[in-house]
Amino acid sequence: MKDQYVGDVSDYLKYAMLRAWSARGLSVALGWMRTEPDVRSDGGLIRYLGRPERYRELDPELFDGLARLVATDQRSVRNVVELELIAGSFSYEALLQDDHEARDAWFAGLARCAKEAQIMFLDPDNGLEVATVPRGRAGSRRYVYLEELRTVRVPGQAIVVYQHFPRVVRETYLNVQLRRLTEVWPGALTFAVCSPRIALLLSVPSALSDTMFDAARALVDGDTGGVGVRIYVPTMSK
């Protein structure tokens, strides 16, 4: 996660979903996986803020808050937290680096912050690990690795992982990614909350499954078509 992304249309979906779970009384640990800004144009997808008639209804308070951050050039996760746009949450904002030692320290810090939360949200730049970038190599800060997820998860806690879509068939890709989570935690419910650009990958214990799934369904029902929110349940769970 780079601060330059804050307020773009993908953030709008992420935060709206986290807010919906928080509104149902669930506590959320925000593991931002922050990395240094760069000179790319990522984070420029903010034109939706100029179309409130199409996008605002999904979450009016959030829409207005993100619009203020963008308009005043205050795009950072710290400002998201300070404005309490995601209530009922714990925020871990330390920068993430590539090397093993730094990653181990980062995840140890997250574990201390997140141990009391019912939901742990992880927000890597790209998503789950890929075979071409081993842990500890240059660029690995853009990913979260399955072995890291194993080390931080608390029994009874749900895990939510941000995933950017590569140029692949969406359903096939989601099925593979959710199967990877099932291999890490057998028995948990897995599903994804998606837009055309991103997915939130979920592994949810049975005690939280109804509440989290119902909140996701309500978010889908509240989308007027601008964001394109949908739920994907993998074929292995059907």
Q: What is the pLDDT of residues 33-89, one digit of tens each?
A: 999 877 665 457 898 999 999 999 999 999 999 999 999 988 888 889 888 899 878
* Per-residue pLDDT reduced to its tens digit, 177-230: 999 999 888 889 999 999 999 999 999 999 999 999 999 999 999 998 889 999
pLDDT at 237: 45
The pLDDT confidence band at residue 5, using thresholds 50, 70 and 90, is confident
Strands 158-164 and 119-122: parallel
Say which residue the tokens 């199967």 belong to: 179
pLDDT at 41: 53
pLDDT at 163: 97
DSSP, res 237: G
Joined tokens for residue 114: 């997140």
Q: What is the mean pLDDT of residues 142-154?
A: 93
Long-range contact set of residues 95-101: C-beta below 8 Å, sequence gap at least 24: 95/34, 95/35, 95/36, 96/33, 96/34, 96/35, 96/141, 97/141, 98/136, 98/137, 98/138, 98/139, 98/140, 98/141, 99/136, 100/135, 100/136
Hey, is 208 helix, strand or coil? helix
What is the Rg, in whole angstroms, of the alpha carbon atoms belonging to the chain? 17
At 107, phi and psi to the nearest 5? -70, -30
Hey, is 45 helix, strand or coil? coil
Q: Where are the domains of the chain?
A: 3-237
| Cβ contact 161:180 at 8 Å | no
Q: Which residues of 109-119 are buried (b: 16+ CB within 10 A; e: fewer)?
A: ebbebbeebbb
For the cut 60, the answer to whether the pLDDT of residue 122 exceeds it is yes
**What is the DSSP annotation of 191-212?**
EEEE-SSEEEEEEE-HHHHHHH
Interatomic CA distance for residues 229 and 48, integer angstroms = 14
Q: What is the pTM of this model?
A: 0.93
Interatomic CA distance for residues 74 and 68, integer angstroms = 8
Asked which of 10-14, 37-41, 58-62, 106-110 is least confident by mean pLDDT, the reply is 37-41
CATH of domain 3-237: 3.40.50
